[in-house]
Structure 1
Amino acid sequence: MKKLFFYMILMLVSVQIQAQKDFQGMAVYESKTQAPKFEGMRGNRDITPEMQKNMEERMKKMLEKTFILNFDKSASIYKEEEKLEAPGQQNGMRIMFGSLTGGGGTFYKDVKTKSYTVDKEFMGKEFLVVDSLPKLDWKLEQETKQIGGYNCFKATAVKQASKTDFRNFRPKNNDDKKEETKKTSGDTKTNFTDNFEIPKEIIVTAWYTPEIPVNQGPENYWGLPGLILEINDGTTTILCSKIVLNAKEKVEIKPSKKGKVISQKDYDETVIKKMEEFREMNRGRAGGPPPPMGR
């Protein structure tokens, strides 16, 4: 009898271990970013009010994205949902900012090794960014709310703002604009990026649910005792709209291998350099295609 009882306990433990090993989930996230106003273009005689409105509407659509997060106990892949685009939408602006707004590749996170891999295409060149996961000093709050039927807890953190993420751009105040105008008083036209700045730090608010005990979340967010269902950094909100746990069809969770391997720091330096070149080439013009990447 004792042997039978021991055997049953052993079988139960084996089943639980296997269930944990096979555990997998899928979460759908809707990402929305406040579109910047192109107020700096109003002084440009080549930009009509209709053109300005059209640019703002196109930017707004570019900043509304849907992402899929597939995750297990230790790793995840986060990728923008593919959508068909109308002919002619791949213009210079979209090429320039497409990979700078949270999309543009498969983001793989391994919370055991605390590393990530993401493939990015920037100005026609493929990169494979491999680096350590950023560790945020999360402050766990007592405030709670429900998201999609899950009980969620609030957490906050302060992080450095990425200079290569267009979503971090903030409008300059009037004094900054006046100072910039003095410096460029000889120019008859203004590039719209002249009207924005990037803060050094941003406050991040997260909502996570311990009911799904995985150390995962959208983009490069992680490190909380439960799946992160919502992220807000002041201008961008990423909200989970659907969760499926242990679906019959499993998804292969592994990093991409395409592109030139590069660290995040080196990738950022490459992007910043090209953005500066793009800025100078387009100063005094309404727009145009970005300069080609060097080999």
Structure 2
Amino acid sequence: MKTIFFKTFFVLIFLFFNSAVLFAQGFQGKAYYFSKTTMDMSRFGGGRQLNEQQKKEMETRMKQWLERTYVLTFNKEESIFVEDEKLEAPVGGRGPSMWGSSFSPGPQYKNLKTNIFLQDQEFFGKQFLIKEVMQPLEWKMGTESKQIGQYTCFKASASKPSTEINWTRTSRSERDNNAEKKTDSTKTSNVASTNEEPKEEEIEMIEIEAWYTPMIPVSQGPGEYWGLPGLILEVSAGNTSMLCSKIVMNPQEKTKIEAPDKGKIVTKKEYNEIINEKMDEFRNNRGRGDNGRSRG
């Protein structure tokens, strides 16, 4: 009984001390994360089935932007999540392709006071500023706990609409052809009803699992994640996972947390539409090139 009392007492003292440090003037922390995204390499076969050797070669080429290291610099109200360029090394002696680097997320800024999310993003030489009002996730607080480094963490889960790019999406020309075929078949069919309402496109939801520590009582986290009673040290969402490897509290060299302000302002949805258009262009150009070679 005495052991439990003293453990609880020391935890409360620790949390009180941490809270006092957080409210001190000029408080800042840095958390380092390793991010890994898994992807089905067979999607990049261009309609052809890739063998295991080809899949491994594709994984090697794409590893540089599927496995990355980030730094989250945070205070009580603001945070900036950027790639740790010092740890970015070329794969096979070559730098990242423009295609790969264009799909890497730029610096992500969150302001808990104004509820503003900003992402500084360059895409094929054009500068964009993704701007969104931060919508809180409906976190379900779990009772499970685990240790990440020296921090006791608790589990929370939520679901949200996917904002990821659909890599299996067909090109616009293919979609138009499919739509024409569907229209022709509908005209010749006596089954279809003219009073039928068009079906709404299903929204893909992704499940999120996060681990946060009340030992650092700030409502921050990597990327777009936030809203828990402690810093998020680990998060898994869809095919991407991020794990904190190191935390530095009140570093000697402070980083100025600034909101990005350059580029064409777009929403996340508008930005994804721009990417989809570029993907259509890329596929169509590649298709014309293949047709030209086949005719030759």
Q: 1:24 maps to what in 2?
A: 28
TM (norm. structure 1) is 0.72
Instruction: Number of aligned residue pairs: give it.
Output: 240
Correspondence for 2:259 among 249, 255, 261: 255
SS of the residue 1:140 aligns to = strand
Alignment of 1:1-295 (within 5 A): 19-38=23-42, 41=45, 44=48, 50-82=53-85, 83-85=88-90, 88-91=94-97, 95-100=98-103, 103-164=104-165, 200-283=204-287
| Identity, % of aligned positions | 41
CA RMSD, Structure 1 to Structure 2 (Å): 3.1
How far is 1:18 from its partner?
A: 9.2
Does the Cα contact within 8 Å between 1:126 and 1:260 map onto a contact in 2? yes
Q: Which runs of 5+ in 1 are unaligned?
A: 1-15, 172-179, 184-197, 287-295
CA distance in 2, matches of 1:38, 1:237: 21
CA distance in 2, matches of 1:217, 1:43: 39
How far is 1:285 from its partner?
A: 6.1
Q: Which runs of 5+ in 2 are unaligned?
A: 1-19, 170-174, 179-201, 291-296
How far is 1:44 from its partner?
A: 3.9
SS of the residue 1:38 aligns to = helix
Does the Cα contact within 8 Å between 2:31 and 2:244 map onto a contact in 1? yes
Does the Cα contact within 8 Å between 1:106 and 1:118 map onto a contact in 2? yes
Does the Cα contact within 8 Å between 2:163 and 2:269 map onto a contact in 1? no
SS of the residue 2:253 aligns to = coil
How far is 1:37 from its partner?
A: 2.4
SS of the residue 2:24 aligns to = helix
Rg (Cα) greater in structure: 2
CA distance in 2, matches of 1:131, 1:43: 36
Q: For residues 58 and 199 of structure 1, do their structure 2 counterparts lie closer, same or farther at Cα, with a shift above 3 Å needed?
A: farther
CA distance in 1, matches of 2:78, 2:145: 26
Does the Cα contact within 8 Å between 2:72 and 2:222 map onto a contact in 1? yes
Deviation string 1:193-225 (CA, Å, 9 cap, x unpaired) is xxxxx9701100000000000010000100000
Q: For residues 278 and 25 of structure 1, do their structure 2 counterparts lie closer, same or farther at Cα, with a shift above 3 Å needed?
A: same
SS of the residue 2:31 aligns to = strand
Q: For residues 39 and 275 of structure 1, do their structure 2 counterparts lie closer, same or farther at Cα, with a shift above 3 Å needed?
A: closer
